Amino acid sequence: MHLIDEGSPDVRYIVIHGMGGIGKTTLAKSVFNQISSRFHGCSFLSNVREASNSNKVVQLQKQLLLEILSSNPLEFYDSDAGIYEIHMRFRHKKVLIVLDDLDEWDQLSKLAEKPDWFGLGSRIIITTRDINFLQIGEENQENNAQTHLEEFIKMYEMRELCHQHALQLFCKHAFKMDFPPHDYDDISREIALKADGLPLALEVIGSSLYRQSKRLWKDMLKKLSSVPNPKVYDKLKISFDMLDSAQRDIFLDIACYFIGEQAIHPHYMWKALEFYPRTNIIILTRKSLIKVDDNDRLLMHDMLRDLARDIVRQEDKLPGKRSRLWSPEMALVIMQTRKGTENIVALKLTGLSMEHDFTSEEFSRLPSLRWLSWRRCPSDLQAVNLRLLNLAVLKLSDSNIPENWNGWGPCLANRDLKVIHLIRCHLSTTPDFSTCLNLRILVFAKNCSESPQICSSIGKLEHLKRLEITAAEVQPSKLSGSPHFDLCAVPSTICRLTYLSSLKLEGLCIQELHPSIGEMASLKCLSLMQCYQLRKLPDSIGKLRSLFELNLFNTGIKDLPDSIGDLKGLKKMNLGATGIRELPSSIGGLESLLDLDLQQCKRITTLPASIGDLKRLRRLSMVGSKIRELPNSIGDLKMLEIMNMASSQIRELPNSIGELESLLRLDLSFTNITEVPASIGYLKKLQKLILYNCKTRELPKAIEMLENLEVLAYHGHRNTDMTWPPQLSELHMIGVKSPIEQPLLSELRYLPELELSHWGLKDIEFQQLENLRRLSVYDCESLVRLAGLSSLGKLEELTIRRCSRLIDIQDLGEIERMEKLYFRECNATEMLSDLSKLHKLRSLFVIDCKSLQGLPDLPNSLEVLYIQNLSSIERLPDLSKLHKLRRLWITNCESLQGLPDLPNSLEILSIEKWSSKEMLPDLSKLHKLQRLEFSHCEAPQGLPNIPDTCQPNVHASPMLGGSDDVSYYCNSCRISNPGLSSMRRFLLR
């Protein structure tokens, strides 16, 4: 985690590298889950290499924007437009992005090429098997962006597990425990040793041996022993060879076509082939060869994917004679040249440009085709007599094919067709589905502000299990003129689909649901999200006894029927941003409810007492709602783990809040709470308590009873008799105005992280915080003196920001272990203490301090110095002896007169918005200098001599010299983005 270094304001790239199967993605996910909540936005992009090879870079860009902005999808159709959107929308945001499995610079360049695309403090985590594409430390880099990025990169190499940990991981999968049984001890150790400490191999081999005979274990050891150590693929293939024929086919199909797909889609294809998919998916999962996530999507480790595709490649040298084609480009070539497509079962023509076309004859050569996915299908498709008699799954997306295309009839005249997806196709109405009566899944999604017209033939699809009809948000102002999908007009269609388990009608102009919806006995999921005109639900909704998810987010519903309480199986209900005025008392009848979302409900002011009857409720969100009080019965929610009332109108908490015995997180930030009841001390499992910007006058003494509290953020005062919770690891104290609080800080001797903000005291003194590692003091407008820093014996990082009256920072130069100092927007401070004795200080950032007259002497350990907007500083201290200084940034220091001699260790020198009357120092001896940047600078003598190792980047910089001619003398340097139109003389040698 030290590479992440969250407190550092710079943009940082962390590259996790190592061989396949070593655990890079697992580590990245773990870090992502730990820190994602501390960023303005976050995104985890999986399998970037695979997506890029399938021409899905634009989709990755859209996913990145969607996940971080949490808004409607942006529409663009080329990667250059995506780059522009990422740069423009993220440049002021602190973001966390994981790019999983990169292997080419082009992939990075389209998603996160430059640090200035992102706001300060952003972190980009990259996983890769091979770091060569980054060209770190290479002298002849052709791409200036790669050189520019190098300074922001931190490398972390994943290594194999030691034998002890390898054995433990193997046993977790082979025996479901951490150690082997006595009679399996020796053979377990030998097999674990053969896996060479590779987590993936240990997991796969261990899973394949679970509950197998000792004879099979010996066979496995024998096979592993015959494989040379570097042959990891061969060791994994042993587990593949142990599968039966159907399991192998499913495994290969997933690797070639279905990673990221919902398992139910290929299920119908495999079922038609008599592969028994339900059973075999479970077997492959137990053998750790595949995974199925919470959204039913099929996942596979990239190393296993590559193994499977290599097995297919070995079937024949000619791709057309292989059983599977996963490359859209190769599939296109094979079809057009008609070179052996008889065995192809699945075909993906995704990511192809609009000009490609096919005839019916070419498709007739695909007699075994059961899956067809086609992105950007051309509008003038010639294959009008398209009869694919064995087709089970048809997916068309981003296509201009019209509703009057003559090929719809033959294409859909197929009794084996089970799944149809029409996503973002420019269709104003659906085709006629009356000829594919065995359809199980139908998804129709439009990108327009009008609801689509739906053919009544849907009512004939009596075997349909899942129906999704969605449109882009239909704005209320446009509803009156839009054609609408009205369930009242088709009661004999939708509501008669008795096998339907999932119904999503989102962004449509539905005004009401027909009462016969209650007859849909199999319905499990009902989503009417963003149907603005929907005002109420019929009483018959209570008959949906199988329903477990109801999503009414952002609908016009004002009241819920009393029958809502009859939904005994309902587990998740989203009423966010609705106009509901009150919850009926019958809501207590939802005995299975786990998640209730009332965020942004602007008309609900109270909750009914029956809310306490939701015995299984685990999450309750009231963020931004108008709820003012909670009933006493709230304490009956014994299984509640998360309660979030941030920015709500809540004024007080009942004493019964202390009875929430399972509560882990309680957020009351930005509320009108004036007092926290003493009963809060009974929340023995509470880990996080957030009281930011509340009106609480005093933190109660009972807080000390929270034995598992790790994070506490509060605004105001603390009871002077209170002791701090024993497990507290992170404390945020906001708005303290009484000096009485000052001595209480000394009691935090075991606290590792402390944040003080908006304090009203003139003096703050630290004592006995002997374990404090990170301290932040900001927005303390009255603060004049900061003292006692020398007592912080373990402090590693200090941030002081926006303390406009701060003059005296005592003992700053005596924090022996400090590694990073961040000092910003403290306009009254004229001088900092001598820092030369801070022998562990590596980074110093001094920004926007207008009165600061100069920098103190600096320690030899300093590696990074960043100064910006220091308008009064005239001279820098001697830097020539800072033999570890690698990076120096000087920005907009208008009074600075010249630069001192610089150390030979310097690798990056960046100067921006600076005008000097003195000549720059000679840089020719800085043999480690790799990058020199001048932006909007002026100097009377032009640029100095620079070493051959340097890559200059000069942008709009009039270096005023004695000659009117522009001269270039360059040996091994390259000039990127020079902008030299106003330059008089530019000398490189």
Last residue of a domain, one of 225, 241, 257: 241
Please say if the pLDDT value at position 229 is more than 70: no
Same domain for 40 and 151, yes or no, is yes
Tell me if 786 is assigned to some domain: no
pLDDT in tens, 885-920: 988 988 888 888 888 889 989 888 888 888 776 767
- Torsion angle (degrees, nearest 10) of CA 50, 52, 54, 57: 130
**The total number of structural domains that make up the chain:** 5
Residue 259 lies in a domain: yes
Q: Quote the pLDDT of residue 350.
A: 67
Specify the pLDDT at position 382: 66
For residue 505, which of 482, 533, 477 has the smallest C-alpha distance?
533
CATH number of the domain residue 309 falls in: 1.10.10
- Residues 37 and 136 reside in one and the same domain: yes
pLDDT value, residue 943: 62
* Higher per-residue confidence, 870 vs 320: 870
User: What's the distance, CA 211 to chain centroid?
Assistant: 37
CA 953, CA 957: separation in Å to the nearest integer?
10
Is the confidence at residue 284, as pLDDT, over 90? yes
Q: What was the pLDDT predicted at 765? A: 86
Q: HSE-up of 403 (CA within 13 Å, CB side)?
A: 13
Amino acid occupying residue 415 = R
**Residue 88 is encoded by which pair of tokens?**
């423009």
State whether 153 and 27 are in the same domain.
Answer: yes
Return the structure tokens found at 747.
Answer: 């009691």
Show Cβ contacts of residue 344 under 8 Å, excluding neighbours closer than 6 positions.
323, 324, 325, 331, 334, 366, 368, 369
Residue 974's pLDDT is 32
Phi, psi of 931 (to 5 degrees): -145, 130
Backbone phi, psi, residue 216, to 5°? -65, -35
User: Would you state the pLDDT for residue 798?
Assistant: 93
Q: Looking at residues 42-68, what average pLDDT do you find?
A: 85
Q: Is the pLDDT of residue 45 over 80?
A: yes
User: What is the pLDDT at residue 615?
Assistant: 96
141 has a pLDDT exceeding 90: no
Distances (CA, A) of 598 to 551, 552, 560, 563, 579: 11, 10, 13, 19, 11
Examine the domain organization and report whether 78 and 190 are in the same domain.
no
Report residue 228 as tokens.
């040379």
Asked if pLDDT for residue 665 goes beyond 90, the answer is yes
Give the global pTM.
Answer: 0.74
The amino acid at 684: K
d(CA 128, CA 371): 32
pLDDT band for 488, please (50, 70, 90 cuts): very low
Q: What is the pLDDT of residues 245-262, one digit of tens each?
A: 999 999 999 999 999 899
For the segment 14-19, the average pLDDT, to the nearest whole number, is 88
Last residue of a domain, one of 157, 173, 197: 157
319 vs 719 pLDDT, higher one:
319
- Residues 64 and 124 placed together within one structural domain of the fold: yes
The string of DSSP letters for 544-555 reads: -TT--EEE-TT-
Domain boundary among 157, 185, 218: 157
Angle at 282 between CA 281 and CA 287, to 5 degrees: 95
The confidence band for 474, taking pLDDT boundaries of 50, 70 and 90, is: very low
For the domain that residue 136 is a member of, what is the CATH number? Answer: 3.40.50.300
* 639: pLDDT strictly greater than 90: yes
As a whole number of angstroms, the longest Cα–Cα distance in the chain is 90
Q: What does the alpha-carbon distance between residue 698 and residue 714 come to, in Å, rounded to a whole number?
A: 9
Q: Is residue 256 part of a domain?
A: yes
Within 10 A of 417 (CB to CB), how many other CB atoms are there? Answer: 25
Stretch 594-602: mean pLDDT: 95
Sheet holding 763-765, edge to edge: 763-765, 785-787, 808-809
CB 577 within 8 A of CB 598: no
Residue 944: band (very low, low, confident or very high) from pLDDT cuts 50, 70, 90: low
> Across residues 581-586, what is the average pLDDT?
95
> Given a cut of 90, is residue 164 above it in pLDDT?
no
- In a shared domain, residues 121 and 68: yes
Residues 708 and 685: beta-carbon distance below 8 Å: yes
Token output for 762:
């003139």
Does residue 25 sit in the same domain as residue 153?
yes
Residues, the chain: 989
Mean pLDDT of 867-888: 90
Residues 273 and 200 in one domain: no
Within this chain, do residues 112 and 41 fall inside the same structural domain, yes or no? yes
Q: Are residues 618 and 661 in the same domain?
A: yes
pLDDT mean over 437-466: 82
Q: List, for residues 86-125, the tens digit of each pLDDT value.
A: 988 888 788 999 999 898 888 898 999 888 888 888 999 9
**Residue 771 pLDDT > 60:** yes
Residues 237, 249 share a domain: no
| pLDDT (0 to 100) of residue 475 | 44
**Residue 356, pLDDT score:** 53
**Contact call for residues 657 and 677 (beta carbons, < 8 A):** yes
Quick one: average pLDDT of 325-346? Answer: 77
Contacts of 164 (CB under 8 A, 6+ apart): none
- 43 within some domain: yes
| Within-domain flag for 557 | no
Residue 132 placed within a domain: yes
| Pairing of β 864-868 and β 843-847 | parallel
The DSSP-derived string for 319-358 is GGGSS----HHHHHHHHHHT-S-TT--EEEETT--TT---
Flag whether 310 is in a domain: yes
Q: Name the CA radius of gyration of the chain, rounded.
A: 33
More confident residue, 483 or 672: 672
State whether 237 and 266 are in the same domain: no
d(CA 769, CA 433): 72
The predicted structure's pLDDT at residue 838: 92
Any domain includes 284: yes
State yes or no: pLDDT of 427 exceeds 60: yes
pLDDT of the residue at 537: 93
Task: Print the domain residue range for 659.
Answer: 609-719
Tokens 């209480």 sit on residue: 744
